[in-house]
Amino acid sequence: MVTNCEKSGNEQEEVALQNASKQIVQTAILQAVQQVSQESQQKEKRVNSSVSLQLERGELTKKHEKK
């Protein structure tokens, strides 16, 4: 037979585990979002750098003039 005290303790433990699980999931999601954001920023910097380099070399203007 399960007493009220044991039942209450089990419920509290289950709630604590659920809260811990939620925190783990939230942390994982936050880290994933931050990683995607950083990768996007790095990609944008590479693209901007490439465009700047092409502009310095005159490659973009040459392509434009041929059209």
Q: 33-61: per-residue pLDDT in tens?
A: 999 999 999 888 888 888 787 777 777 65
- Confirm whether 13 is domain-assigned: no
Encode 28-41: b = buried (16+ Cβ within 10 Å), e = exposed: eeeeeeeeeeeeee
Number of structural domains (the chain) is: 1
51 close to 60: Cβ distance less than 8 angstroms = yes
pLDDT value at 9 more than 70 = yes
- Confirm whether 59 is domain-assigned: yes
CA distance 41 to 49: 12
**Domain limits for position 34:** 25-67
pLDDT score at 48 = 81
37 close to 30: Cβ distance less than 8 angstroms = no
